[in-house]
Amino acid sequence: MSKTGKAKALMARYNANFSTSQIIMQEKRVLSGMRPTGGLHLGHYHGVLKNWQNLQNQYDSYFLYFQKTLSKPYAKDKIDLENNVMEMVIDWLAAGINPNTATIFVQSKVPEHAELHLLLSMSTPLSWLERVPSYKDQQLRLKTKDLATYGFLGYPLLQSADILIYKAGLVPVGEDQVAHVEFAREVARRFNFVYGRDADFEQKAEAAIGKMGKKQAKSYQSFRKIYQETGDSEALVKAQALLQEQQNITLGDRERLAGYIEGMGKIILPEPDSLLTEAAKMPGLDGQKMSKSYGNTISLRDSNEEIESKIKRMPTDPARVKITDAGDPEKCPVWRLHQIYSNETTCDWVKNGCSKAKIGCIECKQPVIEAVQTELIPMQERIKKYQADPDLIKQIIFEGSEKARNIARETMAEVREAMGIVY
């Protein structure tokens, strides 16, 4: 790509609502995680996994299996963790997550997450954790459980460590997790501010500029000046693009110079952006969000018979008591499924047939039943295939976790150095 082409591409990314800072280091790394809730359903498939599937082809992607035991202090019900991990990963693979493109790993296999969590806890004010919305919510909702532990309060910080340790730039999440990613940004910003600025930061930055080549150095300085004086984000993006092209400066210098543009310290932990997954495309059987806790799911492993009976039991527009009563698809959760699964002809048939009382609800549901079954058959075949080969699954998890761990180790070395705990 030409120089201006690159700057343009960066600009486009910036315009597409990326934060102004730190586009450089975090470029092209995606991290997301899932908290196992026992078996994946169509909501996960349409809402999360399909999205991951697209991302894995565009970015260096890391998908983490987050251990529920860690968010569930004193879980007395012993869960079969090994089996849980295996079955979840099998579902991911069957749904199209490709272990050759994406890195699939388990959090507990990378103990560096715990170490970063601990170190970040030194610079994270308690009040930040207390005001994370999910903390208050859950405390109100789950009154019966003992949630007065640090583990529960500190959950968003552990999640920050999950993200920051990979210097991930993009974190695809649903709406409920956006506040957590925002929290991770604050944690990173503060960390960089506190530990990123060593005494001779400025001198080192100036020395790094000197290594850049005269013309380039001049451009960098003028972009930096414009940005600092006017806050012109275009200048920022251009300066960042310029840094990205530098061959002859070290990564450390590049990070230093990236921070220097904005007048900050060295950026050790880049701030991630959340990549908001569109609101749940897949409604549950009752029209609410599909979720295990609402009991309105179709599991990826449901048999044809289960699918049929679940959809047949779905509520429809209450106005249609008798087949001769006209209905309104907009008031019916079945219609939402047609919008996902049916072509235009079928959709017209539904709209017309429903509003003119020409079709019955059972009849109307039939194409949806078939579409869901057709969607899940190949997935279930793959699930069977993977289940027959547990060694392969273990290997995928092992290799993914090793790869993730190598990156985590590198970040930890930088973090420890910045904090002055190298000995």
Under 8 Å between Cβ of 33 and 172: no
- Total chain residues near ligand SF4 (CB under 6 A): 14
Q: Nearer to ligand TRP by C-beta: 33 or 259?
A: 33
Beta bridge partners of 24: none
- Output the six-digit token pair for 330: 């907009």
Helix (H, G, I), strand (E, B) or coil at 52: helix
Q: How far is the CB of 182 from ligand TRP (least distance, A)?
A: 12
Site for ligand SF4 in 347-406 (CB under 6 A): 350, 354, 359, 361, 364-365
CA atoms within 13 A on the CB side of 408: 25
Residue 47 binds ligand SF4 (CB under 6 A):
no
- Output the six-digit token pair for 45: 């498939």
Single out the residue of 112, 253, 271, 317 in contact with ligand SF4 (rule: CB under 6 A): 317
Q: Nearer to ligand SF4 by C-beta: 174 or 287?
A: 287
**Of 70-78, 152-160, 255-263, 331-339, which part binds ligand SF4 (CB under 6 A)?**
331-339
Single out the residue of 18, 66, 92, 191 in contact with ligand TRP (rule: CB under 6 A): 66
Single out the residue of 21, 32, 192, 299 in contact with ligand TRP (rule: CB under 6 A): 32
Single out the residue of 7, 334, 379, 408 in contact with ligand SF4 (rule: CB under 6 A): 334
Give the distance, in angstroms, between the CA of residue 93 and the centroid of all CA atoms in the same chain. 17
The option from ligand SF4, ligand TRP, none interacting with 159 (CB < 5 to 8 A, set by class) reads: ligand TRP
Q: Which residues contact 131 (CB under 8 A, 6 or more apart)?
A: none
Q: How far is the CB of 4 from ligand TRP (least distance, A)?
A: 34
Residue 65 binds ligand TRP (CB under 6 A):
no
Beta-strand pair 29-34/102-106: unpaired
Distance CA 47, CA 337 (A): 14
Residue 267 binds ligand TRP (CB under 6 A):
no
Site for ligand SF4 in 251-290 (CB under 6 A): none
- Output the six-digit token pair for 155: 């959950």
Q: Which residues contact 159 (CB under 8 A, 6 or more apart)?
A: 33, 66, 180, 183, 184
**Of 59-67, 194-202, 256-264, 330-338, which part binds ligand SF4 (CB under 6 A)?**
330-338
Q: How far is the CB of 310 from ligand SF4 (least distance, A)?
A: 14
User: Phi, psi (5° rounding) for residue 98?
Assistant: -105, 115
CA dihedral angle for residue 97, residue 299, residue 275, residue 338, rounded to 10 degrees: 110
- Output the six-digit token pair for 91: 């579902």
Alpha-carbon separation of residue 370 from 177, 286, 351, 367, 384 (angstroms):
33, 19, 19, 5, 21
Distance CA 81, CA 52 (A): 23
Q: Nearer to ligand SF4 by C-beta: 267 or 354?
A: 354
Q: Nearer to ligand TRP by C-beta: 34 or 419?
A: 34
The option from ligand TRP, ligand SF4, none interacting with 361 (CB < 5 to 8 A, set by class) reads: ligand SF4
Site for ligand TRP in 161-220 (CB under 6 A): 162-163, 171, 173, 177
Distance CA 365, CA 341 (A): 11
**Of 58-66, 70-78, 213-221, 313-321, which part binds ligand SF4 (CB under 6 A)?**
313-321
- Output the six-digit token pair for 61: 């992607």
Helix (H, G, I), strand (E, B) or coil at 276: strand
**Of 23-31, 67-75, 245-253, 314-322, which part binds ligand SF4 (CB under 6 A)?**
314-322
Distance CA 107, CA 158 (A): 10
Distance CA 160, CA 55 (A): 20
**Of 16-24, 32-40, 81-89, 400-408, which part binds ligand TRP (CB under 6 A)?**
32-40
Q: How far is the CB of 349 from ligand SF4 (least distance, A)?
A: 10
Residues that bind ligand SF4 (CB under 6 A): 316-317, 320, 327, 329, 332, 334-335, 350, 354, 359, 361, 364-365
| Interface contacts to ligand TRP, rule CB under 6 A | 31-35, 64, 66, 159, 162-163, 171, 173, 177
